[in-house]
Structure 1
Amino acid sequence: MAEAYTLKEVNDYIKQVIALNFEDSIWIVAEISQVKEVRGQVYLEFVQKKEQDNSIAAKAQGVIWYKSLMFIKSKLGELTDSILQAGQEIKFKAKIEYHVVYGLKFSVEDLDASYTLGNLELIRQKTIEQLKKNKLLFKNRETTLPPVIQNIAVISSHKAAGLQDFFSHLNNNRYGYAFSTDFYDSSMQGANVERDIVGNLIKIKENKENYDCVVIIRGGGSKMDLSYFDNYNICANVAKFPIPVLTGIGHDIDQNVIEMVAHSPLKTPTAVADFIVEHNMNFEMNILEMEQKIKNLTQLIIQNNSNMVENLYKDLQKNALFNLSNADHYIASLEYKIKSLSSIKIDSEKSRLNEMENILKLSDPFEIIKKGYSITLKENKIVRSIKNIEQGNVVKTILYDGEFESKVIE
């Protein structure tokens, strides 16, 4: 019968092997899958994933005891919490321990922040290159903000430090502008950032006609805290979004990739609120400026027309006086001409009448009779021919100084 070992014997042997082979602490690279702080100690679960399908290739437990945690925090400060996040790949120094009851555990003594930061920068550069390759880097900037922003979809965490500042600046603006906002709660740090932001963008996209823009805001943080906004899936969804996306991540030094693809990247949540208010104020100022220009132009046109009418009146008045003067001269000249022509005409007519009078005098029968002629009448009719007289007719003969009757005998 084959020899059998007890469980404790096996575990003791494993403990001895590990102790002999890992006498000193070693540096290990792994991804944090779970992290939990309890009573000053931090308990971790480490994994390594396969590149082919992202499935788990290895898993181990770890712990940072209180003294080690204090050492790490004194060395890294605020970076400590940023590094110890689920989903973060880290390089850590640990003592490999094996307990016969609790099994294998890594006792973490130190963290290499430069490794994590370098790895995050590598991810950032890969994201940028992929966005460039897919021609997405400036795509959201091709969208257009409406002249007036009124309806806003806000993606942030209800715990975000800058969220209330954003709403305060937006709703209590000095111009009294009113806005309609819908809040979409999302993780802004940790393993769920990608899932939450992308999921909310999909929800908003389904109702995009209800919004003028999307705002993604976070209340600041370390470079490592903000590294989640270098995620390709988040950035690609922002870049392809059909309406403008405004960001206020809260970092004054480095630019995250999400800010590179956003329509309008602002530094802080309050800067986003101020940008929206000023955008609407600029529209109002343009309207007021246009109104003033119209008023000025109208006044100028009225003034010009008034001057033109006044000048026309003066010209008409001047022309009227000139025309009246000319008319007076013309009438006087015409009167003179009429008088002159009338006088000539009268003299001419007098002369003609005198001539006619003379002619009439010469033709007057009495004047002719004076010259020795006589007029013979038969039955009060002038006898012009001897043929008109017969024997026995009584005729009257008119002479210059009298008349007599006679009877025709033969």
Structure 2
Amino acid sequence: MTQNCKALTLYELNLLIQKVIKENFEGDVLLVSEISRIIYNAGGFTNIELIEKKDDQVIAKNRAVIWNDKKFILDVFETIVGEKLSEGMKILAKVKVSYHPSYGLTLNILNIDPSYTIGEMQLRKSQILNRLESEGLLELNKRLEFPIVPQNIALISSKSAAGYEDFVNHLMYNDKGYRFNLRLFYSVMQGKDVETSIIKSLDEIIECGNFEVVVIVRGGGSVGELDCFNSYDLAKKISQFPIPVLVGIGHDRDKTVLDYVAYKGFKNPTAVAHFLINAVEAFDDYLTDALHKIFNLSSARLKSEARALENISLRIKEKVLENLNTSKSNINFIGNRIFPELFRRIDLEKRKNDKILFNIFSKLKERVKNEYSFLERSEYKLRSCSIEILQKSIKTIINIEKEVKLKDPREILKKGFSITTLNGKIIKKYEDVEEGSKILTHFLNFDVFSVVERKVRGDE
């Protein structure tokens, strides 16, 4: 250590530092930095810790202060951005560099540019969207099959959120009278805890395992208030979620990242409710059309069978009349052959043959009576056969209607059976499915997604 070098006290050294800083930082400085910590003191001033990162490592850190006379800066920032100055925000601030021998280096914040913070939010949102697209995650949730009748709905929101009551009232008290099974999974909908809170709710929904749709709603807000929904981890979770996710967070103009990765994004919670109601109404209309088609087909079949029976009845009547006319002709033919001979023999032996003639006439009358009785019985049998054929046809039509109803997929599901599909097609044979395939099993009130780990034949 050099003996000639005069030693300085700490105070003297700090005075020299103060002098150097004062000489070199006489004017204001525009500073870009990130807020790592902020403390609103009861005395009116605000302590802020500013940092700069590189590759997620802090490479610079300084203390900054907003004094009481500059407190309006915070109000202006909140009014424009829509959110209080908080940790994690990047800011562009005008600062005055000062150094005090007792308190060290301090950056006195004179003003903050809110437009820079908003721009940083938009830039970060664009970077997140580009990353999701490059990783092939942007469209995953949109490719899921939306349920035909979405009734079991998991709602992620907060009862204090402005859009919560709007969504519930429009959905549960819809003018169509449709019923929905709705369960609320409480989540923070504003601030830095939004990401972890919603991810936790999504995990709880998976554990329950009986929902068809997930809905995330809140009552809108400014760009700053909605920036909490521009989260990569949350967007990735929703994109890879196995259930369609609908988002209605009430944005006026700019969409959040969640709107892009969800199955569908809506401008407000009410629009989400309308979408679900319309989906059920579309299926209701489909069923109504199907019933009309079944009714029309059944009516046409009944009319066709009735016409066929009528034609059979007409043919039977024609045949009966034809047989009657033939019998009458035969009787007339027999009479024309016998009577002349009788008259000749009567003329020759009238007295002898009176008794014979009487017997002949008696036998003829009996024969005619028997023939007529036979024709009456034949007509009765034909009528009975016609009625029996008509009754059998009616029973056949009724059985056809029952078969149509029994083949309705809903009737099959009501009996406890299920229908398993692969890529929208019903699995009927062993060869229709491969190991590792993702299959969907439909029950009456819910669906089950499965992955085929192993196939086993019935005789194995």
Structure 1-normalised TM-score?
A: 0.71
Give the C-alpha shift of residue 193 in structure 1.
3.3
Residue 48 of structure 2 is matched in structure 1 by: 44
- Give the letter aligned to residue 287 of structure 2: I
User: What RMSD in Å do the two structures reach over aligned CA positions?
Assistant: 3.4
Contact kept in structure 1, 2:185 and 2:201, CA below 8 Å: no
- Give the letter aligned to residue 88 of structure 1: M
Aligned length: 341
Residue 86, structure 1, aligned to residue 121, structure 2: no
- Give the letter aligned to residue 107 of structure 1: N
Residue 21, structure 1, aligned to residue 17, structure 2: no
Residue 322 of structure 2 is matched in structure 1 by: 326
Higher-Rg member (1/2): 1
**Aligned-partner Cα distance in 1 for 2:279–2:228:** 29
Residue 380 of structure 2 is matched in structure 1 by: none
**Aligned-partner Cα distance in 2 for 1:201–1:332:** 93
Contact kept in structure 1, 2:137 and 2:240, CA below 8 Å: yes
Residue 123 of structure 2 is matched in structure 1 by: 122
Residue 187 of structure 2 is matched in structure 1 by: 185
- Give the letter aligned to residue 263 of structure 2: H
Give the C-alpha shift of residue 141 in structure 1.
1.2
Aligned positions of 1:5-404 closer than 5 A: 5-38=8-41, 41-51=45-55, 54-70=56-72, 73-74=75-76, 78-82=79-83, 84-157=85-158, 159-174=160-175, 175=177, 177-190=179-192, 192-205=193-206, 207=207, 209-299=209-299, 301-302=301-302, 304-305=303-304, 308=307, 311-312=310-311, 316-317=313-314, 320=317, 322-342=318-338
Tell me the SS of whatever aligns to 2:236: helix
Relative to structure 1, is the Cα distance of residues 59 and 213 closer, same or farther in structure 2, using a 3 angstrom cutoff? same
**Aligned-partner Cα distance in 2 for 1:104–1:337:** 143
Tell me the SS of whatever aligns to 2:26: coil
Tell me the SS of whatever aligns to 1:251: coil
**Aligned-partner Cα distance in 1 for 2:259–2:166:** 20
Give the C-alpha shift of residue 319 in structure 1.
5.5
Tell me the SS of whatever aligns to 2:185: strand
- Give the letter aligned to residue 50 of structure 1: K
**Aligned-partner Cα distance in 2 for 1:246–1:212:** 11
List, as ranges, runs of 4+ consecutive aligned residues in structure 1 with deviation greater than 6 Å.
Answer: 343-347
Identity %: 32
- Give the letter aligned to residue 116 of structure 2: Y
**Aligned-partner Cα distance in 2 for 1:170–1:103:** 60
Structure 1: unaligned runs, 5 residues or longer? 350-410
Tell me the SS of whatever aligns to 2:38: strand
**Aligned-partner Cα distance in 1 for 2:262–2:123:** 21
Relative to structure 1, is the Cα distance of residues 37 and 162 closer, same or farther in structure 2, using a 3 angstrom cutoff? farther
Tell me the SS of whatever aligns to 1:96: strand
**Aligned-partner Cα distance in 1 for 2:162–2:10:** 52
**Aligned-partner Cα distance in 1 for 2:49–2:341:** 140
Contact kept in structure 2, 1:63 and 1:108, CA below 8 Å: yes
Structure 2-normalised TM-score?
A: 0.64
Give the C-alpha shift of residue 241 in structure 1.
0.8
**Aligned-partner Cα distance in 2 for 1:94–1:158:** 42
Structure 2: unaligned runs, 5 residues or longer? 346-460
Residue 382 of structure 1 is matched in structure 2 by: none
Relative to structure 1, is the Cα distance of residues 177 and 326 closer, same or farther in structure 2, using a 3 angstrom cutoff? closer
